[in-house]
């Protein structure tokens, strides 16, 4: 039953575009994209408790890879190239930074997105003589939706598999106490590097898949730090250490974000900041953990 219900939901989601308007399909693409981003982010950060703000860096790299290579390579090879580039960057970044912890890791990952954006901007202006690129691919909105849905399902399935195997247990121990993990014989560097690389590769592929919908990309668009902050808030809201937590947080928060950006285009970042503070202080472990605590409290009251 645990497997049948998700499969039925996946089939229903796959059939949804057949009866949706263009606006409805656009909303579905946005929701599925952020479910994928939040789930991929949680694959590494959910258990290790390493708060990464590098989502926009990998997301933007995926989009720019498509913009640069789509005219010279077939689309499947472009996606493969994006995944390999994202994995390669994640290995380099992971080897040099995963020994950092706490606020130092947060600051570095936030700076990474800005560094990549500035480097690309400098290269485009000084070498290619332009700042943006057009993406002309014969890919419909439905194609993008189905690809992103498949990537999201793969991400959740991979997370479920990892949680049941040695890697997932090692990540949980690292998140609880790295000293204990080291004394338990866990290879801290390798474990964190594997999870970080898997997470970053999926984030890169998400940016690559959704990029044809924009048609035009430039560094300021695809390396938007809002993507990083929204991804973190979504994962934390639902529960980053729960399998379905990121999805639970991503769907309603995406709809709220869309409504705020449409009705309060100049002030919605303020609401976003307040929401982030509220999630951290009121529901630090997510909605699902809050529900579990409420049930446990009621159970004690009934027993008493």
Separation between Cα atoms, residue 251 and residue 23, nearest integer Å? 16
Q: What is the pLDDT of residue 99?
A: 76
Q: What is the pLDDT of residue 85?
A: 96
| Three-class SS state of 160 | helix
**Three-point CA angle 201, 241, 53, nearest 5°:** 50
Q: What is the pLDDT of residue 286?
A: 66
Separation between Cα atoms, residue 234 and residue 35, nearest integer Å? 8
CATH number for domain 27-303, candidates 1.10.260, 2.60.40, 1.20.140, 1.10.3470? 1.10.3470
Domain ranges within the chain, ordered by starting residue: 27-303
Separation between Cα atoms, residue 150 and residue 146, nearest integer Å? 6
Q: In 101-140, which residue ranges form alpha helices assigned H by DSSP?
A: 103-123
Q: What is the pLDDT of residue 270?
A: 80
What ranges make up the beta strands (E) of 166-208? none
pTM of the model: 0.91
**pLDDT, tens digit only, all 304 positions of the chain:** 567 888 888 999 999 998 889 999 999 999 999 999 999 999 999 888 888 999 999 999 999 999 999 989 999 999 999 999 999 999 999 888 887 777 788 888 889 889 999 999 998 889 888 888 889 898 999 999 999 999 999 999 999 999 999 999 999 998 888 888 888 888 888 999 999 999 999 999 999 999 999 888 988 888 998 899 899 989 988 888 888 989 998 998 899 888 888 888 777 778 777 877 777 677 666 666 666 666 666 665 556 5
Q: What is the pLDDT of residue 246?
A: 92
């Amino acid at each position: 039953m645990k497997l049948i219900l998700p499969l039925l939901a996946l089939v229903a989601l796959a059939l949804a575009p057949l009866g949706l308007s263009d606006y409805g399909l656009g909303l579905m693409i946005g929701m599925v994209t952020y479910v994928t981003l939040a789930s991929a982010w949680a694959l590494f950060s959910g258990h290790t408790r390493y708060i990464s703000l590098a989502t926009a860096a990998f997301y933007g790299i995926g989009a720019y890879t498509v913009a640069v290579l789509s005219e010279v390579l077939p689309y499947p090879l472009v996606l493969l190239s994006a995944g390999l580039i994202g994995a390669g960057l994640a290995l380099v970044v992971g080897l040099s930074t995963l020994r950092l912890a706490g606020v130092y890791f947060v600051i570095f990952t936030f700076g990474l997105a800005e560094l990549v954006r500035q480097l690309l901007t400098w290269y485009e202006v000084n070498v290619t003589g332009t700042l943006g690129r057009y993406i002309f691919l014969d890919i419909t909105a439905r194609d993008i939706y189905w690809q992103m849905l498949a990537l999201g399902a793969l991400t959740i399935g991979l997370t479920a598999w990892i949680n049941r195997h040695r890697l997932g247990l090692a990540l949980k121990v690292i998140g609880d106490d790295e000293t204990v993990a080291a004394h338990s014989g866990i290879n801290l560097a390798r474990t964190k590097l594997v999870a970080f690389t898997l997470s970053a590769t999926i984030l890169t592929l998400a940016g690559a898949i959704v990029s044809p919908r924009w048609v035009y990309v430039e560094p300021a668009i695809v390396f938007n730090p809002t993507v990083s902050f929204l991804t973190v808030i979504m994962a934390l809201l639902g529960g980053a250490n729960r399998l379905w937590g990121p999805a639970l947080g991503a769907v309603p928060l995406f709809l709220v974000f869309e409504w705020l950006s449409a009705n309060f285009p100049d002030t919605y970042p303020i609401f976003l900041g307040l929401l982030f503070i509220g999630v951290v202080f009121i529901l630090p472990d997510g909605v699902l953990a809050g529900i579990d605590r409420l049930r446990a409290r009621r159970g004690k009251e009934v027993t008493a």
